[in-house]
């Protein structure tokens, strides 16, 4: 009853303050646009729009910023599907199947399932947020450096599912990513590692220039006429045809369910974020799907799984921020700064001391997710029209956004040069048929893995047995071992079954002809 009363309180606050609803809609719209622009992720979007909240009521300002957050999570899928350039790192996995679907004339279908999966993942996790936030937040506190190290190892096992036709090339890509992740100053000694004396490399190489170069510039260089390669079926743009059919829901529903749960749990862990959630959800979907051989070639569930996970993670990241005062992602770190700007202190007493604010924000999330669905569906015809732009113009505009996005990271031309360098590297990798996804995953997780390992070893006084002897660490590492060695076995079983089915079908056809 208290839960229903609090939710009623939240919606009452929204109804008494129509501006809050309007700003929720504005936030979602701005988030979708920001998420669709390469390099401008939710963190940067919130930071850029933060000055607009000056003078607003606290609840109104934070509602708008929250709308930017989960709107950007969906927005990243737009450029990922249409031009194979993820709007932010959380949309990297969406490119693997979203863009092939667009090439096959199903861009509308891909963006449609991305919208539905995002809204389902976000809405379900708002409910979970209300019900179990305090309990799960207490569990998240138990994750120290050793537990994070084991979680990163679990994430790295997903590389086995991204190697494509050649495991050797896939793992070569991953090792290259791990090398890039080590560039910078040593975490403990402060010594330089592979910096070549360049001050700009002391902090390491940011993920965004790498992603935009490997996925954006490489695609522009490789495909001479990107838009002419994509034949958009105009009938697929009609709203009635954007809703997945029964068979497609059958393919996607289990992965949306699993991805939502996984994404929310990953989002709870400070520093893990939507990117890792999307990687793990995609990997889990590929491992458990009966159509795993279609992944990377245009499997619709390959779009649904990461999209529901990254939106679920965005909701999960708010739990430690509000209940513990620990931001779960870069975007929530900026939001926490906004809360403190308004004189609100996140922590265990936040819901008790600021009930009106907290429940007004939660109610706005329901409204925002509905707005996201409506915008995602009604706006699809506009998004699809991007494909009608002539290739030279489209490529020039995309290249402009990529370079502006890389420059805006810290107003440095050095990042622009890095983006171009990784674009050239991505072109070479495409020509050699070396997959880029393992490299991207290794870069994302490599630095976090090293940081967690070094911290855990220092806390354990260098005793690796003490570090690995914790219950959570043991469970997660056993799961990682099972996934790492189980994947080849499962794939072999699937191939054997397919071969057996094919032989059986051939025998039946021979009997029928006889």
Give the list of residues 6+ apart from residue 130 with CB closer than 8 angstroms, or none.
3, 6, 7, 362
What phi and psi, each to the nearest 5 degrees, are found at residue 352? -75, -40
Distance CA 112, CA 117 (A): 9
Q: Where are the alpha helices (DSSP H) in 269-342?
A: 273-288, 301-316, 318-324, 330-341
- Are 235 and 52 in contact, with CB atoms under 8 Å apart? no
Q: What is the pLDDT of residues 95-141, one digit of tens each?
A: 888 888 888 877 778 888 888 888 888 888 888 877 776 565 556 56
Q: Where are the alpha helices (DSSP H) in 37-57?
A: 42-49
| Cα–Cα separations (whole angstroms), residue 88 to 43, 78, 94, 178 | 10, 11, 11, 20
Distance CA 35, CA 177 (A): 24
**Six token digits for residue 123:** 């809405």
**Six token digits for residue 120:** 């389902």
- In the chain, which residues have pLDDT < 70? 1-3, 38-41, 43-44, 47-48, 51, 133-142, 155, 158-166, 208, 223-242, 270-273, 324-330, 333, 347-349, 383-389, 391, 394, 409, 483-484, 486-514
* Helix, strand, coil percent values for the chain (each to nearest 5): 80, 0, 20
Distance CA 92, CA 77 (A): 9
Q: What is the pLDDT of residues 189-207, one digit of tens each?
A: 778 888 888 888 888 887 7
Q: How many domains in the chain?
A: 1
Range of the domain at 31: 2-513
The reported pLDDT for the residue numbered 22 is 84
Distance CA 211, CA 443 (A): 10
Distance CA 114, CA 43 (A): 21
Distance CA 65, CA 68 (A): 5
Q: Which of 78, 89, 81 is nearest to 41 (CA)?
A: 89
Q: What is the pLDDT of residues 31-71, one digit of tens each?
A: 887 777 766 667 667 766 776 777 777 778 888 888 888 78
- Are 226 and 219 in contact, with CB atoms under 8 Å apart? yes
The reported pLDDT for the residue numbered 228 is 44
């Amino acid at each position: 009853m208290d839960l229903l009363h609090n939710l009623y309180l939240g919606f009452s606050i929204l109804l008494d303050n129509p501006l809050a609803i309007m700003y929720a809609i504005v936030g979602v719209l701005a988030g979708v646009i920001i998420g669709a622009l390469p390099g401008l992720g939710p963190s940067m979007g919130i930071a850029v729009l933060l000055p607009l909240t000056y003078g607003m009521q606290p609840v109104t300002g934070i509602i708008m910023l929250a709308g930017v957050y989960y709107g950007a999570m969906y927005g990243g899928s737009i450029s990922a599907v249409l031009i194979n350039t993820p709007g932010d790192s959380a949309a990297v996995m969406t490119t693997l199947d979203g863009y092939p679907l667009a090439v096959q004339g199903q861009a509308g279908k891909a963006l449609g399932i991305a919208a539905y999966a995002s809204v389902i993942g976000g809405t379900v996790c708002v409910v979970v947020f209300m019900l179990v936030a305090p309990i799960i937040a207490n569990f998240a506190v138990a994750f120290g450096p050793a537990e994070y190290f084991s979680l990163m190892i679990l994430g790295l096992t997903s590389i086995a599912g991204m190697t494509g036709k050649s495991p050797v090339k896939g793992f070569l890509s991953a090792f290259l990513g791990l090398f890039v992740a080590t560039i910078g100053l040593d975490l403990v000694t402060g010594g330089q590692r592979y910096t070549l004396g360049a001050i700009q490399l002391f902090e390491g190489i940011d993920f965004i220039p790498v992603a935009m170069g490997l996925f954006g510039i490489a695609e522009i260089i490789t495909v001479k006429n990107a838009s002419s390669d994509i034949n958009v079926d105009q009938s697929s743009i009609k709203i009635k045809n954007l809703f997945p059919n029964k068979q497609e829901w059958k393919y996607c529903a289990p992965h949306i369910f699993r991805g939502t749960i996984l994404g929310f749990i990953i989002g709870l862990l400070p520093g893990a974020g939507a990117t890792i959630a999307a990687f793990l959800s995609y990997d889990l979907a590929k491992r458990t799907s009966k159509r795993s051989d279609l992944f990377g070639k245009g499997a619709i569930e390959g779009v649904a799984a990461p999209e529901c996970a990254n939106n679920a993670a965005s909701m999960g990241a708010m739990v430690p921020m509000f209940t513990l005062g620990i931001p779960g992602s870069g975007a929530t770190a900026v939001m926490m700064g906004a809360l403190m700007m308004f004189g609100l202190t996140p922590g265990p007493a936040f819901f008790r001391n600021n009930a009106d604010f907290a429940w007004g924000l939660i109610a706005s999330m329901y409204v925002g997710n509905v707005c996201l669905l409506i915008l995602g569906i009604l706006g699809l015809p506009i998004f699809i029209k991007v494909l009608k732009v002539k290739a030279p113009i489209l490529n020039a505009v995309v290249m402009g956004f990529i370079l502006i996005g890389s420059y805006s990271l810290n107003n440095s031309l050095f990042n622009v040069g890095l983006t171009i360098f990784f674009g050239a590297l991505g072109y070479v990798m495409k020509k050699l048929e070396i997959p880029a996804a393992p490299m991207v995953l290794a870069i994302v997780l490599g630095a976090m893995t090293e940081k967690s390992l070094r911290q855990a070893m220092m806390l354990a006084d260098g005793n690796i047995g003490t570090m690995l002897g914790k219950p959570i660490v043991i469970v997660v590492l056993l799961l990682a071992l099972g996934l790492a060695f189980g994947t080849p076995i499962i794939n072999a079983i699937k191939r054997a079954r397919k071969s057996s089915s094919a032989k059986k079908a051939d025998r039946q056809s021979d009997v029928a002809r006889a």
